[in-house]
Amino acid sequence: MLFTIGLNRAITLIAEAKPGRISSSLIKDLGDHPEDKKPVRIMKGQYGPYIKYKSLNATIPEEKDPLDINMEDALILIEKRREYDKRKQKLCVDRWTLWMKLRIENWKKRIRI
């Protein structure tokens, strides 16, 4: 079955369409990172403001105003995010290692080594 609509109706439907995914918008550009000269920016995202540095996104605490954050504050938040990611990754590796040890022990019990 094929439907046809007129040009005016098509324009109206396009104008009334809900926007898709809302992209993040720049709040403030803090400049380049002191070590590698990559940009550090404060962005406005779906879940609140955050600091964007390379592929790392560091959440800005609710009690802090994004416009009041300077490069020094941003570097602290970036480092906290890196530490969090390292702990999370280590936890995943530790869980996987434990899971593998248990699998090996169960395997040994089955074949009675």
- pLDDT band at 2, cuts 50/70/90? confident
Cα within 13 Å of Cα(55), Cβ side = 1
Are 48 and 59 in contact by the 8 Å Cβ rule? The answer is: yes
| CA–CA distance, 21 with 72 (Å, rounded to integer) | 32
75 Rama sector, left if φ>0, alpha if ψ -120 to 50, beta otherwise: alpha
How do residues 12-71 score in pLDDT, each as one tens digit? 888 887 766 666 789 999 999 999 999 999 999 988 999 999 999 999 999 999 999 999
Contact by Cβ (8 Å): 41, 51: yes
Residue 21: per-residue pLDDT? 62
pTM score: 0.64
Burial of 98 (0-12, 13-18, 19+ CB in 10 A): exposed
